[in-house]
Structure formats: structure tokens, C-alpha cells
């Protein structure tokens, strides 16, 4: 869920803070690059959030009859959060970046705009004026 919750916001912020031109003036290849980069960062967030649970499940699958308490004693709380995290970040970041890149490439092929851009005004803001 983290990759879906963060991707669009990340892409919007890349366009807002890192790209000097409006999205509408950017080439499709640059827009697809932004989609990949946004997907990569969303994947990093996803890896960080899900990593402790994945370490726990791996431990429980490898140690027959072990409990959650056994895993925490053996790996430590710090180990649950950090053991194998750099490799997981590279793997999940790259996979998620590729997924969003493919998604937006398909959208371009069928004539739809890429993800991101200016966020629509909040519901209350539309009524003011």
C-alpha cells in the first residue's frame, strides 16, 4: 500500500521542486524518467515499511516452532528493521520504479497523460471564489 499511497505525491514533488519546466513542456521520455524515479522512491518507502514483517516471517519459516518472541530475542528489534534492508531497498525500489515506468509507458502508448503534475484543488477550494 505504501507505494500506491506515496507515488503520486512523490511525482508531483519531483515536478514541483526538481524539474525547472512545467510538466506540459517536458518530453515524454523525461516524464517517463520522472515516473521511474518516483516509483523507485515509493519502492524505497515500501521496502522500509514492510521489511520488519518480512524479516519476521522469514525467521519463523526457517526456525520450526519459533515464536515472535524468539525472533525478537534472536534478531533484536534493530535487526528486524535493518537486517538485509539495503539489498531489499535496491530490489524493491528497482521493481517498483519499473512497474510505474511500464504503467506510464502504456498510458503514453494509448494517448493518456503520464502520472503526476499539478494536484487538483481541494474540494473546499473549488467552492471559494
Q: What are phi and psi of 106, to 5 degrees?
A: -65, -45
Domain count, the chain: 1
Task: Kindly state whether residue 126 falls inside one of the protein's structural domains.
Answer: no
C-alpha span between 45 and 6 (Å, rounded): 8
The answer to whether the CB of 16 falls within 8 A of the CB of 40 is: no
In a domain, 125, yes or no: no
List pLDDT tens digits, range 29-72.
999 999 999 999 999 999 999 999 999 999 999 988 899 999 99
Q: How far is CA 53 from CA 9, 48, 78, 81, 100, in A?
A: 25, 10, 13, 9, 24
Residue 10 C-alpha cell reads as 512523490
Q: Is 75 helix (H, G, I), strand (E, B) or coil?
A: helix
- List pLDDT tens digits, range 66-106: 999 999 999 999 999 999 999 999 999 999 999 999 999 99
Q: Is residue 116 part of a domain?
A: no
- Please state the pTM of the whole predicted model: 0.82
CA gap 6, 39 in Å, rounded: 9
100 assigned to some structural domain: yes
Give the residue, 119 or 70, on which the prediction is more confident. 70
User: Is 120 within the bounds of a domain?
Assistant: no
Per-residue pLDDT at 128: 55
Range of the domain at 66: 29-110
Domain membership flag for residue 127: no
Assigned domain for 103 exists: yes
Would you say residue 80 lies in a domain?
Answer: yes
Amino acid at each position: 500500500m505504501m507505494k500506491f499511497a506515496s507515488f503520486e505525491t512523490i511525482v508531483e514533488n519531483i515536478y514541483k521542486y526538481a524539474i525547472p519546466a512545467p510538466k506540459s513542456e517536458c518530453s515524454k521520455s523525461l516524464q517517463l524518467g520522472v515516473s521511474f524515479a518516483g516509483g523507485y522512491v515509493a519502492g524505497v518507502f515500501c521496502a522500509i515499511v514492510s521489511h520488519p514483517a518480512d524479516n519476521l516471517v522469514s525467521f519463523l519459516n526457517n526456525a520450526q516452532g519459533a515464536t515472535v518472541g524468539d525472533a525478537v530475542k534472536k534478531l533484536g528489534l534493530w535487526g528486524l528493521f535493518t537486517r538485509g534492508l539495503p539489498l531489499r531497498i535496491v530490489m524493491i525500489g528497482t521493481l517498483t520504479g519499473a512497474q510505474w515506468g511500464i504503467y506510464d509507458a502504456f498510458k503514453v502508448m494509448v494517448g493518456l497523460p503520464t502520472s503526476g503534475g499539478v494536484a487538483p484543488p481541494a474540494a473546499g477550494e473549488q467552492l471559494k471564489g
